[in-house]
């Protein structure tokens, strides 16, 4: 039991800085997507889908990156362009995408309010 606890503490100590670095990279990248005064990056949330069995071949985790427009939320093509801007910023950062994938994420969604999410990948 003591060896298991020691091993667990060691593994946590080794992986925590990497997870922290991923979070910081994501926060930095997302905070720079929009021009100041356009939309503010609120943060991200990791979601684990309980409706998918753990034994399933697909991952159960996805990430939501959350923004709020400083003015009225755009509609139609302007909203689509904002979604595209966020998704493009994510997809261009191959290191971050690889890191998220290695951490078990199979999808990233963008939210601009509490009612709607738009899938990037």
Contact 21, 72 (CB under 8 A): no
| pTM score over 0.85 | no
Question: What would the two tokens of residue 114 be?
Answer: 């509490």
Indicate the SS3 state at residue 38.
coil
Q: For residue 97, give the nearest of 65, 52, 67 by alpha carbon.
A: 65
Handedness of CA 32, 66, 77, 74 (dihedral sign): negative
Residue 110 pLDDT exceeds 90 = yes
Using one digit for the tens of pLDDT, what is the confidence trace for 26-79?
Answer: 999 999 999 998 999 999 999 888 887 777 777 678 899 999 999 888 889 999
pLDDT of residue 80: 94
Assigned superfamily of 19-119: Cation efflux protein, cytoplasmic domain (3.30.70.1350)
pLDDT value for 108: 93
Token output for 69: 């427009």
Question: How confident is the model at residue 49, as a pLDDT?
Answer: 81
């Amino acid at each position: 039991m003591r060896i298991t606890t020691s091993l667990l503490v060691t593994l946590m100590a080794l992986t925590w800085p990497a997870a922290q670095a991923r979070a910081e990279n994501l926060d930095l990248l997302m905070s720079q997507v929009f021009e100041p005064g356009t939309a503010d990056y609120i943060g991200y949330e990791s979601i684990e889908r309980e409706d998918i069995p753990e034994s399933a071949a697909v991952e159960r985790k996805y990430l939501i990156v959350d923004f709020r427009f400083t003015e009225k939320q755009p509609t139609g093509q302007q909203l689509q362009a904002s979604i595209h801007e966020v998704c493009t910023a994510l997809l261009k950062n191959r290191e971050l995408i690889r890191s998220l994938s290695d951490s078990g994420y199979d999808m990233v969604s963008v939210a601009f309010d509490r009612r709607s999410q738009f899938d990037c990948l």
